[in-house]
Structure 1
Amino acid sequence: MKLLITLFCALGLSIQTYAQQDAPSPILFIYDASGSMWGQLDGKTKKEIASEVLATSVSNLPENQNIGLVTYGHRTKGDCDDVEFMVDITNNSKEKVKNAVIGINPLGRTPLARSATMAINSLKERNTKATIILITDGIESCDGNICDVVTKAKTDGIDFKLHIVGFGLKESETEQLKCAANAGDGKYYDASDASGLGDVLAEATTETVDDPSDNFSIYAVKNGKPVDAWIKVVKAGTNDEIDGARTYRDTGWVYLPPGKYDMIIKPLESTKIKGTTVSIESIKDKIGHQTVSFDGGKINLTTLNNNEGWDCTSKVKTQKGEVVGGSRTYGKPKIIELNPGVYDIEVMALKIKGLKNKFIIEDVTVEATKTVDVSHNFQSGIAMIGVKSGDVLVDAVVSIKTKETGENVAGSRTYTSDSSNPREFMLNPGVYEVKVSAVKKEYAGKKETFTIEVKKGETVTKIISF
């Protein structure tokens, strides 16, 4: 009997221990209820947007997730001490948090440092850890520095992760907030609308204090400035995802066990450059870093006809034939931005007919941050084909094919207007066979075939008489 009791006790203890380990650490929201939350974005107040998005985020949390709520600025105007613990971190009711947020009336100031102090002190008093997520649409408006508060708390050994969401803030207002998030082992997120707020809260609520500490940072730049980029890390040579993040124009972090990985990075703004993949290695007990530049190279494409600027279409292809760029030149030099690599450029001259109105410029090497000049000069001449009967202009169909291959390259009608009879054809230099056939009944059966030679930069005229 003692043996059975002992076994049951041991089993009960192991189940209890497992349940405790399985329950996630609390998430504590610090919610902005300052007067500026009545400001509008896309026709709705920031208060409405934030409360709706936060309610959705809370609903998506695990059932066994404890959720607390600290609010500031909701009771008194101008009071820097207006900070309240509205929902304790021992709470496991999602409805309690959602109802509390909906009922908040924004009024006051933005005491970020004091709000963070209240939240962090609650963890110290309970000797527990938590993920703190601060949502603010403004900067500190009282006598405090949230970065100093968080830095000191970490020095004192308080265990927490702090994420900060700047809702509709300007870049110039984020320095102190980024400092605090970094000191709190978390991230600073920028959200400019409801969709952006939903995205960052979805990520912030999954990047919790229970996760291993991030040990690999990624910074993405273009032309020397940070860009928002999406990151996915997979085991080297596989599609097995290990971790992921976004940079939000700042440093993104992931956790990688020791080993070799492929890091897939795609820019989300400011560039037409496709993403890239780099090989990295995570080393035990070391913080890794990778700066990724999306600086591409450039092709300065110039298209000419008889040494003058000419409108052309262009396609830039990889060595495997994949089209990765291109544009119309409109007769002026055209900059095409690409990933570094070797490309073929297909250019086609507009208006020019013949066998040489398309050309492929092969093996163009593009290097990062450099511009390579590429040009092609087409050649053409003019053939003027007209049809008359005495002094009367005759409507006729004109068909032109090359003498060399017999391929039809141009055709049109002369009609009976001085503006189209003779009809102008712009052709590559060469010898052509021209067939002219009358259209009107009074000239039924009238036709003529002849040969002309078109020379570069010259005009040849042929008037047929029926």
Structure 2
Amino acid sequence: MNLIKLFSGACVALAMVVPVTSAEQAIIVLDGSGSMWAQVDGTPRIGIARDTLSEVLSTLPGELELGLMTYGHREKGNCGDIELLVAPASGTAAAINAAAAKINPKGMTPLSDAVRLAAEELRYTEDAATVILITDGLETCEVDPCALGNELEAQGVNFTTHVLGFGLTDEEGRQVACLAENTGGKYFSADDGAGLVDALGTAVAEVAQAPEPEPAPVEHEFNLVPQAVLAEGVPYHNELGQLVWEVHAVAATGVGERLQTEYDSGAKFNVEPGDYYLRATLGGATVEQKISVGDGELAEPVVNLNAGLVKVRAVTSEGEVPNSNTQIRISYGDDRSTEFGEGTFRLPAGPLEMEVTHDSVIYTEEFSLTAGEILEKDINLHAGFMEATAIYAEGVDVTSNQLRYGLMSARKSIDGRREEIDVEYDTSAKFYAAPGDYILKTDFEAVSVETPITIVDGERLDLVVNLNAGVAAFTAPGVERMAIYEAGLGIDGTRREVTTKYDVEWQYAFAEGDYVAVGQFADDVEYEVPFTVIAGERVEVEVSEAAAAAAGIAADQPASSAPAAEPTEGKKKTK
């Protein structure tokens, strides 16, 4: 199914959200962010949205109370760019079409605030209301959609949100699905392929409490009733997870166009007599079976999923609860499934590879799953936790978020190097690591400190890294280049260069000690100014002719200038 058909079907489903009464209203929140210019088969997503809305709205009853809201359509970078284009009312089809035609995607994705504003517009704390969010991206404005779903559910009279995601990965889908699920709605992904439109139509019809159609005569109600088993003698039931049934046409190359979709046990189809492919999908297990439906006959094929379940619960150490940052990935063949902290995997029988990771800690296991089997695995990563913060000196914190913390192996390789295991960039660093000895290398501007540490299984280490450093602030009017050197000479008789800058004013952190600032000015004139950095303190350094003279150091002159005075101690060579 292409996305144009999918979008059209989704909009048809949206019309089912609100019954044709004044008891409930609905607002469609249509993504107007910049990503809606992405193309599908050469057509921008926003164009598909406009065309399908126009087609579907023309079929809606005039008394349907429907509104339209969008976001990100007026300016870039503004999380408040949300606008109710059409207030919910009956007979709004033409107004919605006209408003959608003017949407010019360009900005952010404040989907959570948009849903909140739509709910408030519908007076969700007083009346039954439904919001339908259509988005091709995730929240970009630092609002938690899961928390919003809980809030709207708690405060609403009978409030529901449905979320339709386009082009989202499984992980991205989880980040917005909770907005629907926490309000009693459902999340559907365009990338699921099979049955998305039919499933959304079924879900919103239930919410709308639309009157059920008159039952058709029994002989015409259905003629295909499939059954599924996990394995021979192990029947499938709904508690094992959602089972997706698809009926496909038979094509010259095999499985053809999808014709119908149903879910879970008790699926029933009414199809024309003929040959079909029946596809059953449970999680990562998919089985296709060719079937025939005779004229006036009831077909009841049994599909063996040849699948099992793996329930995994992973913790960083004994006594801890599963952490959502712990990734559990199980690979089977060329495919893989991922959960976080804990989860149930529905997979085809056969060899499996599991990898559980949290920061630098990795656990791997290879095992086999038998059809019909339900495996339970409790994984303990046996990790310890460390949080590190840095100070200039006792009582003087480093508040910059530009620190680099590198967790390195304590042992050096044969060439004298240490392996960097993990890295964090922020004011502080948090690491989970396997038990053992490490070196924490803390880098901040011109300062670098290595601290030996030991990580213990299940224990927390709070580390304060004393940089034994201060800050030097430089002013050098007219300087073209400034180099900072350690004051002392190395074994080869030269000074080690610490850093080089090209700014007139700047500041930097240095380890406590003596230094020399060498400023290069126009016509290759240089001035040297010595300075001392004291841990936890700030020193102001002026690099100029006057400052160099005050320090007893004469300026270097270019070769074309008059001979300089006899050099004093610390004077640089004439260029």
TM-score in same-fold range (> 0.5): no
TM-score normalised by structure 1 residue count: 0.44
Give the structure-2-normalised TM-score: 0.37
Q: Which has the higher contact order (CA 8 A, sep 6+)?
A: 1
